Structure 1
Amino acid sequence: MHDFHFFGGGWMMFFWWFLIIALIVIIVKAFFSSTKQNSNNESPLEILKRRYANGEIDKEEFEERKKELL
């Protein structure tokens, strides 16, 4: 049968799997929260410039919104 000596056997195997999964979840959450913080630090003008550079808005709309912001 199975001895489960690799993880320490029996209930310890479940403990190690729980620990591994918990660490993966913590790392993923930390990565996504740091991504959100970086995007929240942009000023409205920087967001507008980025949207114009990405082609989401045209020059006319960019100029109108820029005037509203300044």
Structure 2
Amino acid sequence: MMFWDGHMGGWGYVLMWVSFVLFWGAVIVGLVLLARSTGGGNRRPDMGGPRSRFAEDLLAERFARGEIDENEYTARLAALRRGRET
């Protein structure tokens, strides 16, 4: 025999909505954390290190590929290092 007549009290609705929000919030947070942990391809190479070191590495790569000549390389490298010291 059921003693429930099909009507929830006010606290029943409040508990239902709180559990609904908590459940879907946990699902969304879990998906975001999973995406961040497995999405290593989107990370910038300078994460975790000084920004100027990344700039110097890019400059060295451009010089190695022949995009800039030695004079431009040394001038830009000096400018980067001056900016880092100030």
State the TM-score, normalizing by the size of structure 1: 0.51
The equivalent position to 1:49 in structure 2, one of 28, 45, 50, is: 45
The equivalent position to 1:60 in structure 2, one of 44, 53, 66, is: 53
The equivalent position to 2:22 in structure 1, one of 21, 25, 29, is: 25
Instruction: Note the alpha carbon deviations across 1:20-53, whole angstroms, 9 max, x for none.
Output: 100000011111111000000133x64343738x
Percent same amino acid at aligned positions? 0
The structure that has the greater radius of gyration is: 2
The number of aligned residues is 50
Q: 1:57 Cα shift? A: 3.4
State the TM-score, normalizing by the size of structure 2: 0.43
Task: Name the amino acid aligned to 2:17.
Answer: I
Distance 1:41 1:14, change over 3 A: same
Distance 1:35 1:42, change over 3 A: same
Structure 2: gaps of 5 or more residues: 1-6, 58-86
